[in-house]
Amino acid sequence: GPRPQDPSRQSESEYDIARDLWLRRGQTREALEHALKAVELDDENADAAHLCALLYLDFCSQNRDECRLGEAEKHARRALKLRPDYREARNTLAVVMIHQKKASAAVELLKPLTEDILYQTPENAWGYLGWAYLELGQLDPATDRHRRSLAAQPQFCVGNYRLGLAHERKGELGAALTAFTKALETEAPGCKALQEAWAGRGRVSFRAGNVDSARADLAHCVKLSEATSAGKECRSMLSKLK
């Protein structure tokens, strides 16, 4: 009869299926099923462990009720333990730490990445470091790190979104409006549908007295989705404008 397939090869196959389901088809739940299977078949498959962490984080962005940050952290740490120089897993673990309100721990994880010449997406490290400082209330370092992120990759619309948040919290409404607008006008996949940026620009426009602009942005935000936290915020703000 046929020889049973090597578990490590089966694991790689499951990992490939998971990546395809997630990145090409947007099927997060199905992708997670295959990624977990990949880890089960080979508990030394660092890429599969990291993918599990990313998928659990994706659930957090889609629906708070399905957010499993503990699982995301476990798999990110596992990937990093298996491969200590796994830069992407270090970055992912830092993102989990920020979500868990452990921004100081995230700063310690991210600083080495911003100084690592071999890390291929430095805009991520600078951007998340800026986000960590934002969570810590350190607005000047947050602004600086987000600008560095955008210098490394001008198409990084999430960086402009968070730069807008930093300016908004500093009361710099004009600069915040500019940053949110740049985020939404970036010609990169997903930028024009960055719901949090629509919400941010709506908030800032309202604070600046531009009620019509605020109403238009908030309505577009709600149209994108009412199920997300940003969508709910936009719906709430919009109801107060009517």
Contact 106, 128 (CB under 8 A): yes
Task: Tell me the pTM.
Answer: 0.85
Examine the pLDDT at 2 and tell me if it is beyond 70.
Answer: no
Examine the pLDDT at 1 and tell me if it is beyond 70.
Answer: no
Q: What is the dihedral of CA 102, 104, 109, 113, to 10 degrees?
A: 130
| Higher-confidence position of 38 and 2 | 38
Residues 43, 37: Cα–Cα separation, whole Å: 10
Locate 113 and state its tokens.
Answer: 């990445």
Is residue 128 very low, low, confident or very high in pLDDT (cuts 50, 70, 90)? very high
Examine the pLDDT at 3 and tell me if it is beyond 80.
Answer: no
pLDDT tens-digit profile of 92-115? 999 999 999 999 999 999 999 999
Closest by alpha carbon to 188, among 222, 155, 235? Answer: 155
Average pLDDT, the chain: 94
Q: What share of the chain is helix, strand, coil (3-state, %, to 5)?
A: 80, 0, 20
Closest by alpha carbon to 28, among 67, 68, 56? Answer: 56
SS in 3 state form for 76-93? HHHHHHHCCCCHHHHHHH
pLDDT tens-digit profile of 143-202? 999 999 999 999 999 999 999 999 999 999 999 999 999 999 999 989 999 999 999 999
Examine the pLDDT at 25 and tell me if it is beyond 80.
Answer: yes
Examine the pLDDT at 222 and tell me if it is beyond 50.
Answer: yes
39 residue type, one letter: V
Contact 35, 14 (CB under 8 A): yes
